[in-house]
Amino acid sequence: MSWFPAPGIARRRTVGWVDFLVLLAVLILLLGVVRLGSGMTAPLSRASSISLSPWALPLYAGESLLRIAIAYVFSLAFAVAYGYFAAKTTIGQRLLVPLLDILQSVPVLGFLSATIAFFAGLFPGSTAGLEIASVFAIFTAQAWNMAFSFYHSEMTLPRDLQEASHVYRLGGWQRLWYLELPSSAISLILNSMMSFGGSWFFLAASENVTYAGRSYLLPGVGSYMALAEQRGDAGAMVAAIIVMIILIVAVDQIFWRPVIAWSQRFKMEQTVSGDEPTSFVLTILHRSVLINLFGRKVLRPALEGMLAALSRPPRRPQARRNPLLWENLSTTSSIQSRTFEPLKDGSDFSSVTPAAGTAISKQNFLQSYQSSSSSGSSSTSSTKTNCMSTSLSAAGRMEYLS
């Protein structure tokens, strides 16, 4: 299963308006992340300075979206790592799965109350500790569901695909990248949507933090709504709801819709469904020459090189050598070389005297010799030697094993 689309039309097109649109969107995204991220390390005295002006809502919406996005990145990494070890190890199935069920039953506010003092103590005098505590609270609202999803995908991986990975001798990282992640992609994405959407319910609680007997409001839509409700400003509350609806729809169309349409390449169904999901954003990305060049020339070689460096082909199991059996076989080889020495000169079998102490009866010698002679009159002395050697070696093994 390939993570990257086929170049297709992009190889036959030149740089156009689509590429400039993509570059503009990437530039705006980077500038927005830098601008919003710089406010997360402000002094602690500015934590409660929230304005109810409608013009401040776009900035607050970006702050809330950035916290949810950061929490989702950590939740995704946690879900893959936790689900992998829970499915692959015995202690994981006995301990990690019940522990995950327990963590899922703990309320989000319970994690926030227990961890806020710890994170705030790491960055005294700065809002960074409160921001980390808020992100961790959102993380607890996302991670458990996603971890269960990946664990279930690992446990239900088709057996024929597992055998194919062993045949091709894929290493651990290669197996994860080329088999396990693609097989679980659709389920993990759908559960990610549910977890991401559920995070909006905890914005007001995660952005209204109480520490050391004082309440701090972090800039965001949740704290904006909490302050508007506290002051009884109905207009501000309606404006916050409208902005949140617009933000949710925008995230769905710009991010989740393209991801769902892209994930259809990992379907393992034999029949093609008639209503395949589509996305205009994914179509634009496929038509972008720069995006295709970046994926084909930079991203794919970098990932393949990293996987090749991290992965080692599984070692073939080696049989354990029994010293007593090895010594017996060596002795047998020495005996047969002395026993059949006359046959090298073309002598008849009657001139061969079995060595003393061998475990082979004369009947075994005669049967082997007769079977080799009955195959034709053109049998040579080397054929007799090979036949007698096989009989002697087999009889020696049987004597040792008995």
Give the end of a domain, one of 310, 344, 376.
Answer: 310
For 401, residues 6+ apart whose C-beta sits below 8 A from its C-beta are none
**Band (382; pLDDT cuts 50, 70, 90):** very low
Give the pLDDT confidence score for residue 272 in this predicted structure.
63
Burial class (CB in 10 A: 0-12, 13-18, 19+), 226: buried
The predicted structure's pLDDT at residue 360: 44
| CA atoms of 15 and 23, how far apart (whole Å) | 11
- Examine the domain organization and report whether 252 and 376 are in the same domain: no
Q: Helices marked H in 219-319 — which ranges?
A: 221-231, 234-251, 257-263, 280-287, 289-294, 300-310
Residues 151 and 145 sit within 8 Å (Cβ to Cβ): no
Instruction: Please report whether residue 300 resides in a domain.
Output: yes
Q: Three-state SS across 291-317?
A: HHHHHHHHHHHHHHHHHHHHCCCCCCC
Query: Tell me, what's the pLDDT at 391?
Result: 42
d(CA 116, CA 110): 10
Q: Is 306 in the same domain as 338? A: no
What single-letter DSSP state applies at residue 271? S
Given a cut of 70, is residue 328 above it in pLDDT? no
Beta bridge partners of 210: 215
Tell me the two tokens of residue 109.
């506010």
Q: What confidence category does residue 400 fall into, taking pLDDT thresholds of 50, 70 and 90?
A: very low
61 lies in the same domain as 210: yes
Q: Do both 44 and 114 map to the same domain? A: yes
Helix, strand and coil in the chain, % to nearest 5: 75, 0, 20
Q: What is the pLDDT of residue 151?
A: 92
282 lies in the same domain as 375 = no
Which has more confidence, 77 or 198? 77
What does the alpha-carbon distance between residue 176 and residue 54 come to, in Å, rounded to a whole number? 47
CA 280-286-258 angle, to 5 degrees, is 45
Instruction: Give the confidence band of 318 by pLDDT, cuts at 50, 70, 90.
Output: low
Question: Over the stretch 62-103, which tens digit does the pLDDT of each residue have?
Answer: 999 999 999 999 999 999 999 999 998 888 888 998 998 888
Residues 353 and 283 in one domain: no
- At 149 the pLDDT is 92
pLDDT mean across residues, the chain: 76
Q: Which stretch of 121-125, 184-188, 281-285 has the lowest confidence by average pLDDT?
A: 121-125
pLDDT digits (tens, 9 = 90+) for 93-122: 889 989 988 888 888 777 777 788 888 888
Distance spanning both ends of the chain, measured CA to CA? 52
The answer to whether residue 190 sits within a structural domain is yes
The string of pLDDT tens digits covering residues 211-253 is 777 878 888 898 888 888 888 888 999 999 999 999 999 999 9
Q: Give this prediction's pTM.
A: 0.71
The pair of three-digit structure tokens given for residue 128, joined into one six-digit string? 């960074």
How confident is the model over 176-190, as a mean pLDDT?
A: 90
Count CA atoms closer than 13 A to 383's CA, side-chain side.
Answer: 12
Q: Please tell me whether residues 225 and 349 are part of one structural domain.
A: no
DSSP state of 320: P
Based on the structure, what is the number of domains in the chain?
Answer: 2
CATH for 239: 1.10.3720.10
**Domain range holding 88?**
8-310
Residue (of 384, 336, 343) closest to 357 by Cα position: 336
- What residues does 215 pair with on adjacent strands? 210
Distance of alpha carbon 396 from alpha carbon 389, whole angstroms: 10
Q: Are residues 206 and 94 in the same domain?
A: yes
**Is the pLDDT score of 258 beyond 90?**
yes
The C-alpha atoms of residue 202 and residue 141 are separated, in whole angstroms, by 8
Asked if residue 332 lies in contact with residue 390, where contact means CB atoms within 8 angstroms, the answer is no
Q: For residues 342 and 219, state if they share a domain.
A: no
Please report whether residue 323 resides in a domain. Answer: no
The two three-digit tokens of residue 153, written as one number: 């995908």
Do residue 265 and residue 342 come from a single domain?
no
58 is a domain residue: yes
Distance of alpha carbon 352 from the chain centroid: 66
* 305 and 343 housed in the same domain: no
- Residue that wins the pLDDT comparison between 342 and 215: 215
Q: Could you tell me if 13 and 91 lie in one domain?
A: yes
State percent of the chain over pLDDT 90: 19
- The label of the residue with tokens 């990257």 reads 4
Token pair 């209503």 in the structure block, residue: 275
For residue 217, report the phi and psi dihedrals to the nearest 5 degrees: -110, 115
- Give Cβ neighbours of residue 259 (< 8 Å, ≥ 6 apart): 189
